[in-house]
Amino acid sequence: MNKNILGETFEVNIHRLDEKGFGQAVVWRKNEEGNERKLKLTIPYTLPGEKVQVTVEQPHKRRWKSNAEAILEQHSDRVIAKCPHFEKCGGCVWQHWSYEGQLQEKTNYVKNVLRLQKISPEVVKDTIGMEEPWYYRNKMEFTFSPDGSLGLHEQGNYRNIIPLETCFIMDQEMKETVLLVAKWVKENKLSGYNKEEREGLLRHLMVRKSFHTGEIMLAIFATESPDEIVGIDELVTRIEHKFSQVKSLLWLENRNWADRTQAEQTHILLGRDYIHDELVGYRYRLWFDTFFQTNPLQAKKLVELALEMAQPKQTEKMIDLFCGVGTFSLPFASRVKELAGIEIVETSIQSANRNAKDNGITNTYFLAKDARHGIDEVLTHFGKPDLLLIDPPRSGAGGKVMRRIGRSKPNRIIYVSCNPASFATDIKELEPFGYTLKTVQPVDLFPHTHHVEVVALMSRVEK
């Protein structure tokens, strides 16, 4: 056997997981010159402590990613995956791990990222999981392949689409509406968009549902207007007849080369261009591009935890940084004297103002500006905040924003994060300003994935 062509086979031990939840292993072997070289292996769908067999097809690489050919010694928490698409679809990476094992790993991960910043992990509590860790997503986005098949991207191969048969992390009523659209596309022989050739009709399908009101939105992203599309009236009739809860059926024109769910023109085929949702007693309007937590049951826990940690008072002023459409702003505004929300996305600020009005909340001020300059403007007109909540994107707030927060001297800071690593880096910036991390509560919003959210409290102590 010529190992340079057919590859080398190794038995390796998985010593940790990477930031995507994939197993990591290391082997040492000699290169063509006879020198010892380290080979770093990424092996998806393996668990820490497992011994697996893997083949490296190009032995002179320094890094290699490959699926395990055999599990020689398996983790005690390994289970049989529920979904037939597992290991093909890119939606889940941990269905082979017991849910208890997943939660423990997420707790350990949060502790480890704090240790890397020399912050004590003793304040980290056990991750709050779900009683039913399935069918939790209220929003999904699917992609059309060039032949019109509808599905999700293959793990590790973004160009390939896995046709949808079932999905165990999305609401099942949503799944049925998606399958109806997929069937209609095939019956009418409509083409999907070819990213290489930049031609074809259908690009994406987005579905979202309010678990509280039951309203569903379906949004089809295409490169042409719906006016001349074969069978479009039939699609509307089918959905009206079978899914009366679909209150928004949209056809969104997107001719841009970028592969994103964006729209240059919106056509309402049925109903309106938004749906209603509720969270902890507050009502929200959701458009196709509105950011809203995709796990409503755990999102409710995030808000309740933030309120419990913050202990807002009717005499206090508050800033909500990266406020979005007001997910945290509205519940807090009902409990403080005044609240100022800052968000760079203009449409989100418009939604936040509308949501406040819909809920009869009159003590809010929302500003469309980037975080760093928005804080300066709010402080000028608003004064020093007693309480500040920050819920930044995955990349975190960054040192300049965190130092600006430190200089504004709020008594208490609530940090909500979807990325514990950037959270740990950010809060380290507050130490010179006299802030102490009091508690960190991880919450599992995305079972069977490596993602974990945290809600944390920091208090300022005068030196």
Q: Is 418 a catalytic residue?
A: yes
The tokens 């031609």 sit on which residue? 199
- The active-site residue out of 83, 92, 323, 418 is 418
pLDDT value at position 405?
97
Strand order in the sheet with 8-13: 8-13, 51-56, 70-73
Q: SS3 for 349? A: helix
Q: Where in the chain is the domain with CATH 3.40.50.150?
A: 104-131+293-460
Where on the phi/psi map is residue 90: left (φ > 0), alpha (ψ -120 to 50), or beta?
alpha
Confidence of residue 4 (pLDDT cuts 50, 70, 90): very low
HSE-CB of 422 using CA atoms within 13 angstroms: 20
The model's pLDDT over 214-243, given as tens digits with 9 standing for 90+, comes to 999 999 999 999 998 989 999 999 999 999
CA-CA distance, 103 to 97, in Å (whole number)? Answer: 10
CA distances in angstroms from 230 to 262, 287, 317, 355, listed in the order given: 23, 26, 56, 38
H or E segment to which residue 16 belongs: strand 16-17
What architecture is the 139-279 domain classified under in CATH? Answer: Beta Barrel (2.40)
| CATH number assigned to the domain with residue range 3-73, chosen from the 4 options 2.40.50.140, 3.60.15.10, 3.20.20.100, 3.40.190.10 | 2.40.50.140
Number of neighbouring beta carbons within 10 Å of residue 173 = 16
Tokens of residue 238, six digits = 């089918």
CA-CA distance, 60 to 7, in Å (whole number)? Answer: 10
Of residues 61 and 311, the one with the higher pLDDT is 311
The model's pLDDT over 171-202, given as tens digits with 9 standing for 90+, comes to 999 999 999 999 999 999 999 999 888 899 99
**Helix segments in 197-322, DSSP class H:** 232-242, 296-310
Q: Where in the chain is the domain with CATH 2.40.50.140?
A: 3-73
β-pairing, 157-163 with 150-154?
Answer: antiparallel
pLDDT value at position 250?
98
pLDDT value at position 70?
95
Candidates 323, 332, 302; CA nearest to 412 is 332
Q: Where in the chain is the domain with CATH 2.40.50.1070?
A: 139-279
Strand order in the sheet with 246-253: 157-163, 150-154, 139-144, 202-209, 216-222, 246-253, 265-271
β-pairing, 282-286 with 275-279?
Answer: antiparallel
Q: Is the pLDDT of residue 71 over 60?
A: yes
Q: Is the pLDDT of residue 77 over 90?
A: yes
| CATH number assigned to the domain with residue range 104-131+293-460, chosen from the 4 options 3.30.470.20, 3.40.50.150, 3.30.56.10, 2.130.10.10 | 3.40.50.150
Tokens of residue 372, six digits = 């760093």
The model's pLDDT over 126-159, given as tens digits with 9 standing for 90+, comes to 999 999 999 999 999 999 999 999 999 888 777 8
Q: Is the pLDDT of residue 259 over 70?
A: no
What pTM value is reported for the model?
A: 0.92
pLDDT value at position 260?
65
CA-CA distance, 29 to 38, in Å (whole number)? Answer: 7
pLDDT value at position 365?
96
